[in-house]
């Protein structure tokens, strides 16, 4: 399965929803808190060319925001 | 053919869904997500029966309550795109994902969404310094200079969120008064890192660099007509809400700002077979608890109608 990375802030509810979606579907993910991790923030900006969270990287495909349909597509679900 | 389609999954829509299911009304509820606008709130302290609950937890508890009902079809992750009235008085509801559903009655609990500024640069720099979810993205502006636009509670709370991070906050207010809670107003007004620009509107948002991010704004004092430039890193838009009524604008009467006009005794709209409740309606107070009550009122009225027919 493709590696899944999420860039988030602790106050971001859409990040929580995305993580809950991964957990519910047994998708392992790595999380970076870009509120405190400046290196990760830079990576996130380089990948997504923007500064909003969440940013989700699924095997090199980058999604901004929590869009369940897109995630399901990229993860090969349904 | 459904008896009822409920549009929206905020507190109103869920309340209607629970009541409709318990009355055994053949119902579908269509929503992109649960919880409504409170979803992004850190703590809701006026949801009756609960001292404090986050918007996220409220959304989860609403969804769980709805899913516990037997006999209601829940279509989530989707949005209503269009509603058409047919010659026999029933409706055809189509969704963004291409579903078509037939129904006798419709309850609109589609709430509202954030208003945008409508100035050059706003779309271009959305996510690149222009922010529509302050609670989400405030932590990314540590040590930065930002502007918050608006004079109501959401703008003041946005400033409060940002005080932990940003080094300088301009609060851009179109009028001469703040409308939010007095306690928050005092905190914001007296904070040394906050400067309030009264009678001011943003005319343009600029950007630069590679990748391009916000680097400034042009603003105007609406009283004097004076225009100025300001260098900053972020623009947080908190200027209120606009109702999600576009998909029924040709079917029901809307007021001048787009709220669906209802009879407040029954929640019926100007169109036979369509009811509305909550923030999408012309209710005087946009409150979770009120949306719940009004949506239940609508559902009971719909049930009366079904019993009679």
Domains of chain B are 2-114+241-308 (3.50.50.60), 130-237 (3.50.50.60)
Quick one: DSSP state of residue B103?
A: E
Which member of A49, A52, A53 has the closest CB to residue B211?
Answer: A49
Phi/psi at A47 (nearest 5 deg)?
Answer: -75, -40
Q: What predicted TM-score, i.e. pTM, was given to this entire model?
A: 0.82
Cis preceding-peptide flag for B243 (omega within 30 of 0): no
For chain A, list residues whose CB is within 8 angstroms of any CB belonging to chain B: 9-17, 34-36, 41, 45, 48-53, 64, 68-69
> Per residue in B4-45, pLDDT tens?
999 999 999 999 999 999 999 999 999 999 999 888 887 888
| Chain A nearest C-alpha distance from B137 (Å) | 6
> Per residue in B133-189, pLDDT tens?
888 899 999 999 999 999 998 899 999 999 999 999 999 999 999 998 899 999 999
Residue A51 and residue B137: Cβ atoms within 8 Å?
Answer: yes
Residue B128 and residue A68: Cβ atoms within 8 Å?
Answer: no
| Chain A nearest C-alpha distance from B141 (Å) | 9
List the B227-231 sheet strands across, edge first.
B200-208, B213-221, B227-231
Which member of A50, A64, A68 has the closest CB to residue B77?
Answer: A68
State yes or no: pLDDT of A69 exceeds 90.
no
Q: Where are the beta strands (DSSP E) in B117-210?
A: 130-131, 145-149, 168-172, 194-197, 200-208
| Tokens matching residue A61 | 């495909």
Residue B137 and residue A15: Cβ atoms within 8 Å?
Answer: no
| Domain covering A4-74: architecture | 3-Layer(aba) Sandwich (3.40)
- Residues in chain A within 8 Å Cβ distance of B142: 35
Adjacent-strand bridge partners of B240: none
> Per residue in B218-229, pLDDT tens?
999 999 999 999
């Amino acid at each position: 399965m493709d590696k899944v990375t999420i860039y988030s802030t602790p106050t971001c509810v859409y990040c929580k929803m995305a993580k809950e979606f991964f957990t519910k579907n047994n998708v392992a993910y790595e999380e970076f808190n870009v509120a405190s991790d400046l290196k990760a923030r830079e990576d996130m900006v380089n990948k997504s060319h923007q500064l909003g969270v969440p940013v989700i990287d699924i095997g090199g495909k980058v999604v901004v925001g929590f869009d369940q349909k897109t995630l399901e597509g990229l993860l090969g679900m349904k | 053919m459904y008896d009822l389609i409920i549009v929206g999954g905020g507190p109103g829509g869920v309340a209607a869904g629970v009541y409709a299911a318990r009355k055994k009304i053949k119902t579908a509820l269509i929503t992109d997500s649960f919880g409504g606008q409170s979803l992004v709130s850190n703590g809701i302290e006026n949801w009756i029966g609960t001292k404090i609950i986050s918007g996220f937890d409220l959304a989860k508890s609403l969804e769980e309550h709805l899913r516990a009902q037997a006999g209601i079809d829940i279509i989530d992750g989707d949005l209503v795109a269009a509603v058409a009235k047919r010659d026999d008085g029933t409706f055809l509801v189509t969704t963004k994902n291409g579903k078509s559903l037939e129904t006798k009655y419709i309850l609109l609990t589609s709430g509202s969404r954030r208003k945008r500024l409508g100035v050059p640069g706003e779309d271009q720099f959305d996510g690149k310094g222009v922010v529509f979810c302050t609670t989400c993205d405030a932590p990314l502006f540590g040590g930065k200079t930002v502007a918050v636009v608006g004079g109501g509670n959401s703008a003041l709370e946005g400033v409060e969120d940002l005080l932990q991070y940003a080094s300088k906050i301009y609060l851009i207010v179109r009028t001469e008064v703040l409308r939010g809670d007095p306690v928050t107003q005092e905190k914001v007004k007296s904070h040394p890192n906050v400067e309030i620009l009264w009678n001011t509107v943003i005319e343009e948002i600029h950007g630069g660099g590679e990748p391009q991010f916000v680097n400034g704004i042009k603003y105007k004092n609406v009283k004097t007509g004076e225009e100025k430039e300001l260098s900053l890193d972020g623009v947080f838009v908190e200027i209120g809400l606009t109702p999600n009524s576009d998909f029924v604008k040709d079917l029901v009467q809307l007021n001048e700002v787009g709220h669906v006009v209802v009879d407040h005794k029954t929640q019926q709209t100007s169109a036979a077979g369509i009811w509305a409740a909550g923030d999408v309606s012309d209710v005087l107070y946009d409150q979770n608890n009120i949306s719940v009550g009004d949506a239940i009122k609508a559902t009971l009225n719909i049930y009366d109608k079904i019993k009679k027919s």
